[in-house]
A = this chain, B = another copy of it.
Amino acid sequence: MKKYLEVYDYYKSLIISGQYSRGDRIPSVRETSALLSVSRTTVQNAYFELQADGYIISRPQSGYYVTDAAHEVYTDDKAELSSPEILYDLKSGDADSESFDLTLWQRYIKSALRQKERLLSYSLPKGERDLREALSVYIREKRNVVASPDRIVVGAGVQALLSILCLLANDKKTVSFPTDSFTQGISLFSGHGYDVHIRDKNADIIYVSPSHMTSYGDVMPVSRRLELVRYSESKGSLVIEDDFDSDFLYQSKPVPSLFALSGAGNVIYMGSFSNVLIPGIRISFMVLTKELAQKFDKMQSCFAQTASKTEQIALCDYIRDGHISAQTRKIRRHYTAKTKQLYEELKAHLPSLDAKISENGLAIKIEAAYSGNGEEFEKAGLAVCIYGIDNGIIKLALIPSALETRLIKEAVGLIKDILQNNQ
Protein backbone atom coordinates (compact mmCIF):
# COMPACT_ATOMS: atom_id res chain seq x y z
CA MET A 1 0.00 0.00 0.00
CA LYS A 2 1.28 3.41 -0.89
CA LYS A 3 2.39 5.63 1.96
CA TYR A 4 0.03 8.49 1.13
CA LEU A 5 -2.95 6.12 1.12
CA GLU A 6 -2.09 5.17 4.69
CA VAL A 7 -2.26 8.83 5.67
CA TYR A 8 -5.48 9.15 3.68
CA ASP A 9 -7.05 6.17 5.50
CA TYR A 10 -5.85 7.47 8.85
CA TYR A 11 -7.75 10.74 8.52
CA LYS A 12 -10.69 9.23 6.69
CA SER A 13 -11.33 6.81 9.56
CA LEU A 14 -10.99 9.60 12.14
CA ILE A 15 -13.53 11.65 10.22
CA ILE A 16 -15.97 8.81 9.63
CA SER A 17 -15.76 7.59 13.23
CA GLY A 18 -16.65 11.13 14.31
CA GLN A 19 -13.40 11.95 16.13
CA TYR A 20 -13.23 14.94 13.81
CA SER A 21 -16.55 16.56 13.10
CA ARG A 22 -17.75 19.07 10.57
CA GLY A 23 -15.80 22.33 10.61
CA ASP A 24 -12.90 20.94 12.66
CA ARG A 25 -9.45 21.93 11.55
CA ILE A 26 -7.17 18.96 10.91
CA PRO A 27 -3.39 19.28 11.51
CA SER A 28 -1.39 21.17 8.88
CA VAL A 29 0.82 19.35 6.38
CA ARG A 30 3.84 20.18 8.51
CA GLU A 31 2.22 18.95 11.73
CA THR A 32 1.00 15.69 10.20
CA SER A 33 4.41 15.12 8.66
CA ALA A 34 5.99 15.31 12.11
CA LEU A 35 3.15 13.42 13.77
CA LEU A 36 3.20 10.39 11.46
CA SER A 37 6.90 10.55 10.47
CA VAL A 38 6.21 10.79 6.76
CA SER A 39 7.37 13.33 4.19
CA ARG A 40 5.39 16.50 3.54
CA THR A 41 4.84 15.45 -0.06
CA THR A 42 3.19 12.27 1.16
CA VAL A 43 0.91 14.27 3.44
CA GLN A 44 0.15 16.76 0.67
CA ASN A 45 -0.85 13.90 -1.65
CA ALA A 46 -3.06 12.38 1.02
CA TYR A 47 -4.73 15.76 1.58
CA PHE A 48 -5.30 16.13 -2.17
CA GLU A 49 -7.07 12.79 -2.13
CA LEU A 50 -9.13 13.68 0.95
CA GLN A 51 -10.19 16.88 -0.77
CA ALA A 52 -10.97 15.07 -4.01
CA ASP A 53 -13.21 12.71 -2.09
CA GLY A 54 -14.95 15.54 -0.28
CA TYR A 55 -13.79 14.81 3.27
CA ILE A 56 -11.87 18.01 3.81
CA ILE A 57 -11.58 21.42 2.23
CA SER A 58 -8.69 23.80 2.33
CA ARG A 59 -9.02 27.45 3.25
CA PRO A 60 -6.20 29.75 2.11
CA GLN A 61 -3.89 31.01 4.86
CA SER A 62 -5.89 29.01 7.36
CA GLY A 63 -5.72 25.25 6.99
CA TYR A 64 -7.70 22.13 6.22
CA TYR A 65 -11.21 21.66 7.59
CA VAL A 66 -13.56 18.70 7.78
CA THR A 67 -16.62 18.89 5.57
CA ASP A 68 -19.92 17.14 6.12
CA ALA A 69 -17.95 13.94 5.44
CA ALA A 70 -18.56 13.08 1.80
CA HIS A 71 -20.82 14.44 -0.78
CA GLU A 72 -21.97 17.78 0.51
CA VAL A 73 -21.41 19.40 -2.85
CA TYR A 74 -23.62 17.03 -4.77
CA THR A 75 -26.39 17.44 -2.27
CA ASP A 76 -26.24 21.20 -2.76
CA ASP A 77 -26.40 20.82 -6.51
CA LYS A 78 -29.49 18.70 -6.28
CA ALA A 79 -31.11 21.14 -3.91
CA GLU A 80 -30.45 23.95 -6.34
CA LEU A 81 -32.26 22.15 -9.14
CA SER A 82 -34.99 21.39 -6.63
CA SER A 83 -35.86 18.05 -8.20
CA PRO A 84 -36.85 15.07 -6.04
CA GLU A 85 -34.19 12.48 -5.36
CA ILE A 86 -33.63 10.10 -8.23
CA LEU A 87 -32.73 6.59 -7.15
CA TYR A 88 -33.23 4.89 -10.49
CA ASP A 89 -32.27 6.97 -13.52
CA LEU A 90 -34.12 5.56 -16.55
CA LYS A 91 -34.38 8.90 -18.29
CA SER A 92 -31.19 10.92 -18.66
CA GLY A 93 -29.31 8.69 -21.09
CA ASP A 94 -26.15 9.70 -19.22
CA ALA A 95 -23.14 7.44 -18.96
CA ASP A 96 -22.71 4.98 -16.13
CA SER A 97 -19.54 4.60 -14.11
CA GLU A 98 -18.60 1.30 -15.73
CA SER A 99 -18.40 2.55 -19.28
CA PHE A 100 -15.47 4.90 -19.48
CA ASP A 101 -11.77 4.24 -18.83
CA LEU A 102 -10.91 7.42 -16.99
CA THR A 103 -7.35 6.28 -16.32
CA LEU A 104 -6.64 6.13 -20.04
CA TRP A 105 -8.12 9.59 -20.57
CA GLN A 106 -5.99 10.90 -17.68
CA ARG A 107 -2.88 9.81 -19.57
CA TYR A 108 -3.92 11.82 -22.61
CA ILE A 109 -4.72 14.87 -20.50
CA LYS A 110 -1.35 14.57 -18.79
CA SER A 111 0.38 14.37 -22.13
CA ALA A 112 -1.57 17.42 -23.36
CA LEU A 113 -0.63 19.39 -20.26
CA ARG A 114 3.03 18.83 -21.07
CA GLN A 115 2.72 20.93 -24.23
CA LYS A 116 3.32 24.15 -22.38
CA GLU A 117 4.15 26.31 -25.40
CA ARG A 118 0.86 25.39 -27.01
CA LEU A 119 -1.17 26.16 -23.90
CA LEU A 120 0.31 29.65 -23.69
CA SER A 121 -1.84 30.97 -26.51
CA TYR A 122 -5.55 30.97 -27.22
CA SER A 123 -6.98 28.27 -29.45
CA LEU A 124 -7.89 29.20 -33.03
CA PRO A 125 -11.51 30.35 -33.44
CA LYS A 126 -12.26 27.09 -35.28
CA GLY A 127 -10.38 24.98 -32.74
CA GLU A 128 -7.02 23.23 -32.79
CA ARG A 129 -5.84 22.41 -36.30
CA ASP A 130 -4.66 18.88 -35.51
CA LEU A 131 -7.93 17.97 -33.78
CA ARG A 132 -9.85 19.14 -36.83
CA GLU A 133 -7.59 17.01 -39.02
CA ALA A 134 -8.27 13.97 -36.84
CA LEU A 135 -12.02 14.71 -36.91
CA SER A 136 -11.94 15.04 -40.68
CA VAL A 137 -10.49 11.52 -40.97
CA TYR A 138 -12.83 10.13 -38.33
CA ILE A 139 -16.11 11.34 -39.84
CA ARG A 140 -15.02 10.32 -43.33
CA GLU A 141 -14.44 6.76 -42.12
CA LYS A 142 -17.45 6.51 -39.83
CA ARG A 143 -20.16 8.55 -41.50
CA ASN A 144 -18.91 9.10 -45.03
CA VAL A 145 -18.81 12.83 -44.34
CA VAL A 146 -16.06 14.15 -46.59
CA ALA A 147 -14.84 17.61 -45.62
CA SER A 148 -11.49 19.30 -45.16
CA PRO A 149 -10.43 20.47 -41.68
CA ASP A 150 -10.99 24.06 -42.85
CA ARG A 151 -14.72 23.43 -42.81
CA ILE A 152 -14.75 21.97 -39.30
CA VAL A 153 -15.48 24.14 -36.27
CA VAL A 154 -15.00 22.82 -32.73
CA GLY A 155 -16.95 24.15 -29.74
CA ALA A 156 -18.00 23.42 -26.16
CA GLY A 157 -21.33 21.76 -26.88
CA VAL A 158 -24.01 21.98 -29.53
CA GLN A 159 -25.42 25.22 -28.14
CA ALA A 160 -22.06 26.99 -28.50
CA LEU A 161 -21.94 25.87 -32.15
CA LEU A 162 -25.54 26.84 -32.87
CA SER A 163 -24.87 30.34 -31.56
CA ILE A 164 -22.13 30.65 -34.18
CA LEU A 165 -24.56 29.44 -36.86
CA CYS A 166 -27.13 32.03 -35.76
CA LEU A 167 -24.61 34.72 -36.65
CA LEU A 168 -23.34 33.07 -39.85
CA ALA A 169 -26.74 32.33 -41.38
CA ASN A 170 -28.17 35.78 -40.74
CA ASP A 171 -29.60 36.04 -44.28
CA LYS A 172 -32.13 33.36 -43.26
CA LYS A 173 -35.38 34.24 -41.51
CA THR A 174 -37.16 31.08 -40.35
CA VAL A 175 -35.94 27.95 -38.60
CA SER A 176 -37.72 24.66 -37.99
CA PHE A 177 -37.21 22.28 -35.06
CA PRO A 178 -38.68 18.77 -34.87
CA THR A 179 -40.27 19.34 -31.44
CA ASP A 180 -40.74 22.22 -29.05
CA SER A 181 -38.67 20.46 -26.41
CA PHE A 182 -35.24 21.57 -27.67
CA THR A 183 -35.40 24.78 -25.64
CA GLN A 184 -31.69 25.56 -25.97
CA GLY A 185 -31.85 25.74 -29.75
CA ILE A 186 -35.22 27.46 -29.86
CA SER A 187 -34.35 30.24 -27.40
CA LEU A 188 -31.07 30.84 -29.20
CA PHE A 189 -32.59 31.23 -32.65
CA SER A 190 -35.56 33.25 -31.48
CA GLY A 191 -33.16 35.43 -29.47
CA HIS A 192 -31.37 36.15 -32.75
CA GLY A 193 -34.62 37.25 -34.34
CA TYR A 194 -35.42 34.10 -36.30
CA ASP A 195 -39.02 32.95 -36.59
CA VAL A 196 -39.14 29.51 -35.01
CA HIS A 197 -41.53 26.91 -36.46
CA ILE A 198 -42.11 23.29 -35.45
CA ARG A 199 -41.86 20.67 -38.21
CA ASP A 200 -42.00 23.11 -41.11
CA LYS A 201 -40.28 21.77 -44.20
CA ASN A 202 -40.53 25.17 -45.84
CA ALA A 203 -38.39 26.95 -43.22
CA ASP A 204 -35.12 28.55 -44.35
CA ILE A 205 -33.17 26.46 -41.84
CA ILE A 206 -34.24 22.94 -40.86
CA TYR A 207 -32.73 21.45 -37.73
CA VAL A 208 -33.04 17.66 -37.52
CA SER A 209 -31.58 14.92 -35.41
CA PRO A 210 -32.16 11.98 -37.75
CA SER A 211 -30.41 9.33 -35.65
CA HIS A 212 -32.24 10.36 -32.52
CA MET A 213 -35.61 11.72 -33.58
CA THR A 214 -37.30 11.23 -30.25
CA SER A 215 -36.10 10.68 -26.74
CA TYR A 216 -37.25 7.08 -27.10
CA GLY A 217 -34.82 6.39 -29.90
CA ASP A 218 -36.60 6.55 -33.25
CA VAL A 219 -34.39 6.77 -36.31
CA MET A 220 -35.28 8.58 -39.55
CA PRO A 221 -35.51 6.01 -42.34
CA VAL A 222 -33.44 6.42 -45.51
CA SER A 223 -36.50 7.21 -47.63
CA ARG A 224 -37.38 10.19 -45.46
CA ARG A 225 -33.76 11.28 -45.32
CA LEU A 226 -33.61 11.35 -49.11
CA GLU A 227 -36.92 13.20 -49.28
CA LEU A 228 -35.67 15.85 -46.86
CA VAL A 229 -32.38 16.25 -48.73
CA ARG A 230 -34.14 16.60 -52.11
CA TYR A 231 -36.78 19.01 -50.87
CA SER A 232 -34.31 21.22 -49.04
CA GLU A 233 -32.09 21.34 -52.13
CA SER A 234 -35.01 22.38 -54.33
CA LYS A 235 -36.00 25.08 -51.83
CA GLY A 236 -32.42 26.25 -51.24
CA SER A 237 -32.80 25.81 -47.51
CA LEU A 238 -30.07 24.96 -45.03
CA VAL A 239 -30.25 21.67 -43.11
CA ILE A 240 -28.57 21.26 -39.72
CA GLU A 241 -28.00 17.56 -39.13
CA ASP A 242 -27.30 16.89 -35.47
CA ASP A 243 -25.95 13.35 -35.68
CA PHE A 244 -26.48 12.77 -31.97
CA ASP A 245 -26.39 9.10 -31.00
CA SER A 246 -25.65 7.85 -34.53
CA ASP A 247 -22.82 5.85 -33.00
CA PHE A 248 -25.33 3.73 -31.16
CA LEU A 249 -27.48 2.56 -34.04
CA TYR A 250 -27.40 -1.18 -33.80
CA GLN A 251 -30.75 -2.76 -34.53
CA SER A 252 -31.29 -1.05 -37.81
CA LYS A 253 -28.42 -1.14 -40.30
CA PRO A 254 -26.23 1.97 -40.20
CA VAL A 255 -28.22 4.71 -41.88
CA PRO A 256 -26.34 7.12 -44.15
CA SER A 257 -25.97 10.69 -42.91
CA LEU A 258 -27.94 13.46 -44.62
CA PHE A 259 -24.60 15.12 -45.31
CA ALA A 260 -23.46 12.08 -47.30
CA LEU A 261 -26.80 11.79 -49.13
CA SER A 262 -26.82 15.42 -50.15
CA GLY A 263 -25.11 16.39 -53.36
CA ALA A 264 -25.85 20.10 -53.14
CA GLY A 265 -23.77 20.85 -50.09
CA ASN A 266 -26.57 22.49 -48.12
CA VAL A 267 -26.18 20.28 -45.03
CA ILE A 268 -24.29 21.24 -41.87
CA TYR A 269 -23.15 18.15 -40.00
CA MET A 270 -22.89 18.23 -36.20
CA GLY A 271 -21.42 15.66 -33.84
CA SER A 272 -20.49 15.38 -30.21
CA PHE A 273 -18.40 13.15 -27.98
CA SER A 274 -20.19 13.72 -24.69
CA ASN A 275 -22.11 10.47 -25.09
CA VAL A 276 -19.23 8.27 -26.20
CA LEU A 277 -16.85 9.65 -23.60
CA ILE A 278 -18.37 11.31 -20.53
CA PRO A 279 -20.52 14.42 -20.23
CA GLY A 280 -17.72 16.09 -18.27
CA ILE A 281 -15.74 16.31 -21.51
CA ARG A 282 -17.46 18.97 -23.51
CA ILE A 283 -16.33 18.93 -27.13
CA SER A 284 -18.65 19.06 -30.11
CA PHE A 285 -17.96 19.94 -33.73
CA MET A 286 -19.75 20.95 -36.89
CA VAL A 287 -18.93 20.73 -40.59
CA LEU A 288 -19.94 23.96 -42.29
CA THR A 289 -21.03 24.27 -45.90
CA LYS A 290 -18.33 25.74 -48.14
CA GLU A 291 -20.05 29.13 -48.22
CA LEU A 292 -20.47 29.32 -44.46
CA ALA A 293 -16.87 28.20 -43.91
CA GLN A 294 -15.70 31.11 -46.06
CA LYS A 295 -17.96 33.44 -44.17
CA PHE A 296 -16.54 32.14 -40.89
CA ASP A 297 -13.02 32.94 -42.11
CA LYS A 298 -14.02 36.49 -42.95
CA MET A 299 -15.78 36.92 -39.61
CA GLN A 300 -13.29 34.99 -37.52
CA SER A 301 -12.48 37.92 -35.25
CA CYS A 302 -16.12 37.67 -34.11
CA PHE A 303 -15.69 34.17 -32.69
CA ALA A 304 -13.76 32.88 -29.70
CA GLN A 305 -13.13 29.17 -29.23
CA THR A 306 -15.05 27.78 -26.25
CA ALA A 307 -13.66 24.23 -25.89
CA SER A 308 -10.79 23.63 -23.45
CA LYS A 309 -7.47 23.64 -25.31
CA THR A 310 -6.08 20.90 -23.08
CA GLU A 311 -9.04 18.66 -23.83
CA GLN A 312 -8.82 19.41 -27.55
CA ILE A 313 -5.17 18.32 -27.64
CA ALA A 314 -5.96 15.20 -25.61
CA LEU A 315 -8.96 14.28 -27.75
CA CYS A 316 -6.93 14.62 -30.93
CA ASP A 317 -4.43 11.98 -29.84
CA TYR A 318 -7.21 9.86 -28.34
CA ILE A 319 -8.95 9.74 -31.71
CA ARG A 320 -5.72 9.14 -33.65
CA ASP A 321 -4.88 6.22 -31.39
CA GLY A 322 -8.21 4.60 -32.22
CA HIS A 323 -9.73 4.89 -28.77
CA ILE A 324 -12.95 6.61 -29.85
CA SER A 325 -13.81 3.70 -32.11
CA ALA A 326 -12.94 1.16 -29.43
CA GLN A 327 -14.87 3.11 -26.79
CA THR A 328 -17.91 3.37 -29.07
CA ARG A 329 -17.95 -0.38 -29.63
CA LYS A 330 -17.52 -0.99 -25.93
CA ILE A 331 -20.37 1.17 -24.71
CA ARG A 332 -22.65 0.09 -27.54
CA ARG A 333 -22.20 -3.50 -26.38
CA HIS A 334 -22.54 -2.46 -22.75
CA TYR A 335 -25.66 -0.29 -23.11
CA THR A 336 -27.52 -2.58 -25.46
CA ALA A 337 -26.83 -5.52 -23.15
CA LYS A 338 -28.29 -3.50 -20.32
CA THR A 339 -31.36 -2.60 -22.37
CA LYS A 340 -31.83 -6.27 -23.20
CA GLN A 341 -31.48 -7.28 -19.57
CA LEU A 342 -34.05 -4.67 -18.54
CA TYR A 343 -36.37 -5.92 -21.28
CA GLU A 344 -36.09 -9.52 -20.13
CA GLU A 345 -36.63 -8.55 -16.52
CA LEU A 346 -39.77 -6.64 -17.50
CA LYS A 347 -41.08 -9.56 -19.52
CA ALA A 348 -40.39 -11.95 -16.64
CA HIS A 349 -42.39 -9.84 -14.18
CA LEU A 350 -45.02 -8.43 -16.50
CA PRO A 351 -45.46 -11.05 -19.24
CA SER A 352 -48.42 -9.33 -20.89
CA LEU A 353 -46.80 -5.86 -20.99
CA ASP A 354 -46.67 -4.10 -24.36
CA ALA A 355 -42.93 -3.32 -24.41
CA LYS A 356 -40.42 -3.11 -27.22
CA ILE A 357 -36.82 -2.11 -27.65
CA SER A 358 -36.30 1.11 -29.61
CA GLU A 359 -34.60 1.20 -32.99
CA ASN A 360 -31.35 2.58 -31.63
CA GLY A 361 -31.28 -0.14 -28.98
CA LEU A 362 -30.97 2.27 -26.07
CA ALA A 363 -34.57 2.55 -24.86
CA ILE A 364 -37.63 0.43 -24.14
CA LYS A 365 -40.99 1.80 -25.22
CA ILE A 366 -43.95 0.80 -23.09
CA GLU A 367 -47.70 1.27 -23.44
CA ALA A 368 -49.91 0.23 -20.54
CA ALA A 369 -53.36 0.70 -19.06
CA TYR A 370 -53.00 3.43 -16.45
CA SER A 371 -55.23 5.40 -14.09
CA GLY A 372 -52.56 7.51 -12.35
CA ASN A 373 -51.20 10.99 -13.09
CA GLY A 374 -47.54 10.09 -13.64
CA GLU A 375 -46.34 11.30 -10.26
CA GLU A 376 -46.16 7.77 -8.86
CA PHE A 377 -42.86 7.18 -10.68
CA GLU A 378 -41.19 10.28 -9.28
CA LYS A 379 -42.41 9.46 -5.78
CA ALA A 380 -40.84 6.01 -6.01
CA GLY A 381 -37.50 7.57 -7.01
CA LEU A 382 -37.86 6.48 -10.64
CA ALA A 383 -36.94 8.92 -13.39
CA VAL A 384 -38.66 7.74 -16.57
CA CYS A 385 -39.55 9.46 -19.82
CA ILE A 386 -43.35 9.83 -19.99
CA TYR A 387 -44.50 11.01 -23.39
CA GLY A 388 -48.22 10.73 -23.02
CA ILE A 389 -51.10 9.79 -20.69
CA ASP A 390 -54.29 9.56 -22.75
CA ASN A 391 -57.56 7.64 -22.47
CA GLY A 392 -56.31 5.48 -19.64
CA ILE A 393 -53.10 4.58 -21.48
CA ILE A 394 -49.60 5.68 -20.46
CA LYS A 395 -46.78 5.79 -22.99
CA LEU A 396 -43.32 5.87 -21.57
CA ALA A 397 -39.73 5.08 -22.39
CA LEU A 398 -37.04 3.61 -20.16
CA ILE A 399 -33.43 4.46 -21.00
CA PRO A 400 -31.15 2.37 -18.78
CA SER A 401 -27.68 3.64 -19.82
CA ALA A 402 -27.09 5.55 -16.58
CA LEU A 403 -28.62 2.90 -14.30
CA GLU A 404 -26.20 0.57 -12.64
CA THR A 405 -26.75 -3.02 -13.69
CA ARG A 406 -27.29 -4.19 -10.10
CA LEU A 407 -30.28 -1.82 -9.75
CA ILE A 408 -32.24 -3.14 -12.75
CA LYS A 409 -34.15 -5.77 -10.74
CA GLU A 410 -35.22 -3.27 -8.07
CA ALA A 411 -36.35 -0.74 -10.66
CA VAL A 412 -38.46 -3.32 -12.47
CA GLY A 413 -40.07 -4.33 -9.17
CA LEU A 414 -41.14 -0.73 -8.56
CA ILE A 415 -42.42 -0.27 -12.13
CA LYS A 416 -44.43 -3.47 -11.76
CA ASP A 417 -46.01 -2.22 -8.51
CA ILE A 418 -46.90 1.17 -10.02
CA LEU A 419 -48.44 -0.28 -13.16
CA GLN A 420 -50.42 -2.95 -11.24
CA ASN A 421 -51.66 -0.45 -8.62
CA ASN A 422 -52.82 2.04 -11.25
CA GLN A 423 -54.48 -0.17 -13.83
Q: Which residues of A line the B interface, CB within 8 A? A: 48-49, 51-53, 57-61, 73-74, 76-77, 80-81, 92, 94-97, 100, 102, 105-107, 109-124, 128-130, 150, 156-160, 163, 166-167, 170, 183-184, 186-188, 191-193, 274, 278-282, 299, 301-311, 317, 320-322, 325, 402
Contacts and interface: CB of A to CB of B under 8 A. Distances in A.
Given A156-B156, A279-B120, A322-B60, A170 B184 contact: no
Contacts of A303: 159, 184
A166 B106 CA distance: 36
Contacts of A94: 120-122
A296 B320 CA distance: 40
A182 to B, nearest CB: 10
A52 B311 CA distance: 13
Contacts of A124: 77, 80-81
Contacts of A301: 183-184
28 contacts: A49-B111, A51-B317, A52-B112, A58-B320, A73-B128, A74-B117, A74-B118, A76-B130, A80-B129, A80-B150, A92-B121, A94-B120, A97-B120, A102-B113, A106-B110, A120-B278, A120-B279, A123-B280, A156-B306, A157-B305, A157-B306, A158-B304, A160-B306, A184-B303, A187-B302, A279-B309, A282-B305, A307-B308
Contacts of A305: 157, 282
B109 A109 contact: yes
A128 B129 CA distance: 29
A84 B97 CA distance: 48
A147 to B, nearest CB: 16
Contact of A280 (B60, B156, B188, B309): B309
Contact of A73 (B129, B280, B308): B129
Contacts of A112: 52
Contacts of A48: 107, 111
Contacts of A49: 111, 114
A134 B255 CA distance: 47
Given A77-B128, A80-B124, A157-B304, 19 more contacts: A49-B114, A51-B111, A58-B320, A59-B320, A60-B320, A60-B321, A60-B322, A100-B116, A106-B110, A109-B310, A119-B281, A123-B282, A157-B306, A159-B304, A184-B302, A191-B192, A282-B309, A306-B306, A308-B310
Nearest to A156: B306
Nearest to A306: B156
A122 to B, nearest CB: 4
A294 to B, nearest CB: 13
Contacts of A150: 80
A278 B160 CA distance: 22
Contacts of A157: 304-306
B184 A279 contact: no
A114 B104 CA distance: 12
Nearest to A108: B48
Given A306-B157, A310-B281, A60 B325 contact: yes
